[in-house]
Amino acid sequence: MSEKLTEVLDSLKAIKGVHGAALIEKFGLIKGSALPGWVDPEAVAAMVTLILKASQRATKELEQGVFQNAIIESEKGKILFAEVKGNILTLIATKEAKLGIINLKLGAASEAIKDVV
């Protein structure tokens, strides 16, 4: 994992209400992660694969074009997914984390790692 990528993932993990972040290649390979010990990166990779499969159906059958980003909100937290050059930057947050702030930081992080992924 490049130094730049480590730095960006660590900075996402440091946001209030964010448990951690990972960069998953679109076929499920974990390219980098800054996750707490109780989160299995493979579980995050499996989720990315399922989201991309759902998006592929949307692309093919609903003429929605290529995947850009997704959010899953649950009772106790939310997970954000953003496409970065064939990879998916994934962020795991608590329910309380503010979507506006997280989306801004996620956009900035995507830009920052574009040249190193």
Interacting residues toward a second copy by CB under 8 A: 19, 38-40, 43-44, 46-47, 50-51, 53-55, 57-59, 61-79, 92
Least distance to a second copy, CB of residue 1, Å: 21
Least distance to a second copy, CB of residue 5, Å: 22
Least distance to a second copy, CB of residue 6, Å: 22
* Closest CB to a second copy among residues 14, 50: 50
Which of 85, 72, 79 has its CA nearest to residue 5? 85
* Closest CB to a second copy among residues 11, 69: 69
Q: How far apart (Å, rounded) are the C-alpha atoms in residues 117 and 110? A: 10
The answer to whether residues 76 and 109 touch, using CB atoms and an 8 Å cutoff, is no
* Closest CB to a second copy among residues 2, 73: 73
If DSSP codes are grouped into helix, strand and coil, which group holds residue 109? helix
The answer to whether residues 32 and 22 touch, using CB atoms and an 8 Å cutoff, is yes
Tokens of 41: 């990166």
* Closest CB to a second copy among residues 61, 115: 61
Least distance to a second copy, CB of residue 24, Å: 12
The answer to whether residues 24 and 87 touch, using CB atoms and an 8 Å cutoff, is yes
